[in-house]
Structure 1
C-alpha cells in the first residue's frame, strides 16, 4: 500500500496535468472578444489556472527532503536527467516541427539568435515556458533544504507571510485599483515562483484544523472569483485580455492554488480507494510526457483536421483533453520502447 503522501502527490500530478491540457485547449481565451464564448473561456481559464502552481508545489513536496535520500551532486544529476535532457530534446524537436509541420519557421530563418530565443525564450514551443522557472526552483531547493528540519516550518511560515504580503498582495492591490504608485520592496528569497516551494511544503507538512481549512478554502474561493470577475471586468474595459488578476505569484492565484492543493491532500485517500484511484495510478506514469507532447497533438488536430475553426466551441474546449491525453499516452508508450525513449520521455 502506498503512503498517503505518495497518493495525494500522484493525484495532484494527474489533476494538474489535465488542467494544463484544458488551459491549452481553451486558447481562444487569449483572443479577447465580446462574444459569449469568451465568458466561458474566462471561466475555464480561471478554474484551471492552478495547474502550473500545483506542479511547483509538487516539486517542493518531493524534493525538499532530498538530503535524506542522496547528496546534492546526485540531486542535480537526477534533475538533469529527468528534466533538462527532455527539455533540450523536445525543444529541438519543436524547431523541426515548426519547420516541417507548422511551417512557421523556414530553414533560411535559422541563426544563433533564433536558436537562443528558441531554447532560452521558448520561441519554438511557448508551452515550455514552464521549464525556466522550474529550473530556477530546482536551483533554490538545496538552499531551502539546508535549513534544519526542526526549524523549517517556522522559517517557511515567516518567508511565506512576508512574501505573500510584500510580493503578492501589495503590488496586486496597486495594480487592481490602478493606483499611481511604485512599490519598491520585494522579498527576493521568495520572489517569483519560489514562493510556491514554500507554500507547497507548508501545506504538505501542516495538519490544519477544520477551522483553518475553512479559512483557506474561503480565501481560495475568493481568489477564484477575483480572477474570473477581475479579468472579465478589466478585459472588457481594456478591450483585450488584462493580466492584472492573472499573475501566478500574486494574491488571487496564490490563494486559489493553495486551497486546491490542500483540498487534493484532504480528499486523496477517499479518491484513491475508488475506481478513480486505478485511473490515477495508470495516468501518473505519463503526466510529464503529456505535458511535453500535447502541444504537437493539438497542433496536428488543428492544422490537419481543421479543428482550429472550432476552437471557440465549448465542445472543442471541454472535449479535446479527452482526445489529446489518450493519444499522448499511446505515443509515449511507443517512444519508450525505443532505445533512448525513456531518456527523452522519462
Structure 2
C-alpha cells in the first residue's frame, strides 16, 4: 500500500491556483495593457506569467509520482480503467460542453465535423491542452513503469537526462540558431513534457542529500532570474526570436515550460514542497488539505467556463477600482467559484463521471 504523502495534496492545491492565475491576469492584452512599450503592468504580467507557470508542470510531476509504480498496487488493466474513469471520460464530457458554451460562443458553426476537428486539434477549450499530453503519458506508462520497477536509480536518472536533452535542450538550440537539428525527437515517450512525469517520481521516491537540494535550489533561483531577464530583454530590446511569441511580441521562449530553465525551477519547487511533509503533521491540516485537493481536478475542468462567461460581468462591478486590485480579486473569484461548483457537482451522485 502506497503511503499517503500530504505534500501532494498541497501540491495539487497550489498548482490548480497557479493555473487559474495564469489564465486570468498574465495576458496583458486581456487586461487592456499595451504591449508596445514597457510599463509597470506589462512587466507585472510577464513576471506573474513566469512565476505562476508552475501549475501544469507540478500536475504532471504529481501524476508521475502517483502512477509510475502502479504495478505495486494493481494490474495494467485496472490502471487503464482508473485513468479512463478519472481523466478521459471527464475530458470528453467537458470538451462537449466546451464545444457548445465556449467554442460556440466564438461564432463557429456547431457541426459534428467541426467538433471532431476542434477536438483533435485541441481548439475547443484552450486550457485543456494538458489533457492531450497527460493522456499520451498514460499510454506510455506500462513500459515506463518497467523502467521504474526494474531499472536502477542510474538508469532512471539516465532516462531523465535523455529526455531533458531531447525535449528541453535541442529545441532551444534550434530556436537560437534558427536551425533544425538532425537529432530526432524519437525517444519513445509521447509529448514534450515526459521529463516532468519521471522527475516527479524520482524526486518523490529518492532521498536527495541536503547539499544536492541546495544545489537544485540555487540553480532554480538562477534559472528563474534568467527567465525574467531573458524574456524582457528579447521582447523589448533584441527582437530576433520569431518562435513562441505570446502575446503581441512578448517572447515566451525562455520561460516556456518545455524548456530547461523552467524544468529546473519546477523540480526545485516540487522538492521544496516535499520537504514540507514533516510540517504537515496536524490531523486537522491533513484532513482539510485532502478535502480541498479533491476539488482541484474539478477546478481545472470548470475554470475556463467561469472565465469566458462570468469574469467580465464580475469585473463590471469593479470598473472604478485600480487594475492592481482587479489583478488580486480576479483569480480568487474564478478559483473560489470553480471550487464551489466542483464541490456541489461532486455531491450529486449521478454526476460523478463529470467531476471525479
* Residue matched to 2:111: 111
Q: Report deviation, 1:316.
A: 2.2
Distance in 1, matches of 2:301 and 2:203, equals: 27
Is contact 1:11-1:280 (8 Å) kept? Answer: yes
* Residue matched to 1:325: 335
Q: Select between 279-288 and 77-86 the one with higher mean Cα deviation.
A: 279-288
- Post-superposition CA distance 1:224-272 (Å, at most 9, x none): 1122211111222446121321332221111111111111101132145
Q: 1:234 to 1:117 in 2, by over 3 A?
A: farther
* Residue matched to 1:48: 52
Q: 1:245 to 1:30 in 2, by over 3 A?
A: farther
Q: Does 1:192 align with 2:192?
A: yes
Q: Report deviation, 1:276.
A: 5.6
* Residue matched to 2:6: 7
Partner-residue secondary structure (3-state), 2:147: coil
* Residue matched to 1:90: 94
Distance in 1, matches of 2:103 and 2:322, equals: 27
Partner-residue secondary structure (3-state), 2:124: coil
Is contact 1:60-1:198 (8 Å) kept? Answer: yes
* Residue matched to 2:325: 315
Q: CA RMSD in A?
A: 2.6
Number of residues of Structure 1 aligned to a counterpart in Structure 2? 338
Is contact 2:25-2:330 (8 Å) kept? Answer: no
Unmatched runs of 5 consecutive residues or more in structure 2: 240-247
- Post-superposition CA distance 1:92-135 (Å, at most 9, x none): 111221377xx3135xx123442123322232210111100010
Q: Select between 24-33 and 304-313 the one with higher mean Cα deviation.
A: 304-313
Q: 1:244 to 1:143 in 2, by over 3 A?
A: same
Q: Report deviation, 1:282.
A: 2.6
Q: 1:154 to 1:343 in 2, by over 3 A?
A: same
Q: Report deviation, 1:154.
A: 2.1
Q: 1:158 to 1:29 in 2, by over 3 A?
A: farther
* Residue matched to 1:72: 76
Distance in 1, matches of 2:253 and 2:132, equals: 22
Q: 1:167 to 1:328 in 2, by over 3 A?
A: closer
Is contact 1:294-1:325 (8 Å) kept? Answer: yes
* Residue matched to 2:245: none
Q: Does 1:16 align with 2:15?
A: yes
Distance in 2, matches of 1:172 and 1:225, equals: 17
Q: TM-score, normalised by structure 1?
A: 0.88
Among 42, 45, 55, which residue is 1:38 paired with? Answer: 42
Distance in 1, matches of 2:254 and 2:285, equals: 33
Unmatched runs of 5 consecutive residues or more in structure 1: none
Partner-residue secondary structure (3-state), 1:57: helix
Among 237, 252, 261, which residue is 2:270 paired with? Answer: 261
Is contact 1:99-1:105 (8 Å) kept? Answer: yes
Distance in 2, matches of 1:117 and 1:45, equals: 30
Is contact 1:28-1:311 (8 Å) kept? Answer: no
Q: TM-score, normalised by structure 2?
A: 0.86
* Residue matched to 2:258: 249
Q: Does 1:345 align with 2:355?
A: yes
Distance in 2, matches of 1:247 and 1:40, equals: 17
Among 278, 287, 297, which residue is 2:296 paired with? Answer: 287
Is contact 2:58-2:270 (8 Å) kept? Answer: yes
Partner-residue secondary structure (3-state), 1:340: helix
Q: 1:217 to 1:173 in 2, by over 3 A?
A: farther
* Residue matched to 2:203: 203
Q: 1:302 to 1:330 in 2, by over 3 A?
A: closer
Distance in 2, matches of 1:232 and 1:342, equals: 45
* Residue matched to 2:131: 131
Is contact 1:289-1:332 (8 Å) kept? Answer: yes
Q: 1:311 to 1:223 in 2, by over 3 A?
A: farther
